[in-house]
Amino acid sequence: MSRTRVLMLNWLVPVAAVVAWEGFGRAGILPQYLATPSLIVGALWEVAQTGELALALGVSLYRVALGFVMGTVTGVLAGLGAGLMPGLRNFFDPIVAFLFSVPKIAFLPVFLLLFGLGHASTISIIAFSGFFPVFVACRHSIMSVNPVLIWTARNMGTPPRTVFFRVIIPAAAPQLFAGIRIGLAHAFVVLFAAELIGSKAGIGVLISYGEEWARYDLMFAGIACFAFLGFMSDRILIAVRRRVLRGHIIGTEEQGVR
């Protein structure tokens, strides 16, 4: 198959969907809640000019970034501890095994009461939810480092510190990044739910305003922003990983990334 044909096929479905959406919307066939793409772009422009968009984006980005960083740092630290020390592993394993499949958003009422409706409750629940995938990935990646590598390094008289930084960490890094990536995805899901359920600012609120006032173009504009934010942060994480893991061959071909 030629390159142009592949490219054409790649773009066929998305472009056809948007064209059909716009066309059917103008013809009045679609239900009212499906605002056409041109209207959505108009709404985006509108909120961008009033400054609402920048504010909402700023608030959401601030929350998700801080929560994600907090969850990742604690997850990595606890995961390192659990991977290296059996005592800590025995402490964390049962708790994580139980809480892993519980939707962390279920704790939202508790966090809301603890930290109020503002930033703190959203940030802390994002961190709480991001902790688990990062912890599990970190713990498993440390445990699955080939012991031969560690023995070899020790045999050559490498001090423990160097073994840790030059052998264990690089060997565990690809799997760790996979966990961090899942944590990032969780962060956005929790952000959205937390902003819809208990918050007064951010993109989630933009979406629910659009819903309440039947401004469907505004609702879609919020959805588009949210999707864009999630997509771009994932891309940034992938770019960072490519930088950090330069030269790694095994384990960098992660699923779902091109």
Shortest approach of another protein to residue 175 CB, angstroms?
9
Span near another protein by CB under 8 A; candidates 53-61, 105-113, 151-159, 160-168: 105-113
CB atoms within 10 A of CB 101: 7
Instruction: Determine, following the binding rule CB under 8 A, whether residue 205 of this chain makes contact with another protein.
Output: no
Residue from the set 85, 102, 117, 244 that interacts with another protein by CB under 8 A: 102
Q: Which is nearer to another protein, 153 or 174 (CB)?
A: 174
The residue written with tokens 């440390």 in the block is 142
Instruction: Determine, following the binding rule CB under 8 A, whether residue 256 of this chain makes contact with another protein.
Output: yes
| Residue 139 vs residues 77, 80, 142, 216, 219: alpha-carbon distances, Å | 10, 6, 5, 45, 40
Max intra-chain CA distance, the chain:
76
| Residue 37 vs residues 12, 24, 56, 227, 228: alpha-carbon distances, Å | 17, 11, 21, 15, 15
Please classify residue 169 by burial: count the beta carbons closer than 10 Å to its beta carbon, then call 0-12 exposed, 13-18 middle and 19+ buried. Answer: middle
175-194 positions binding another protein, by CB under 8 A: 178-179, 182, 185, 188-189, 192-193
**Which residues make up the interface to another protein (CB under 8 A)?**
1, 5-6, 9-14, 31, 33-34, 90-95, 97-103, 105-110, 112-114, 133, 136-137, 140, 178-179, 182, 185, 188-189, 192-193, 196-197, 207-208, 211, 219, 222-223, 226-227, 230-231, 234-235, 255-258
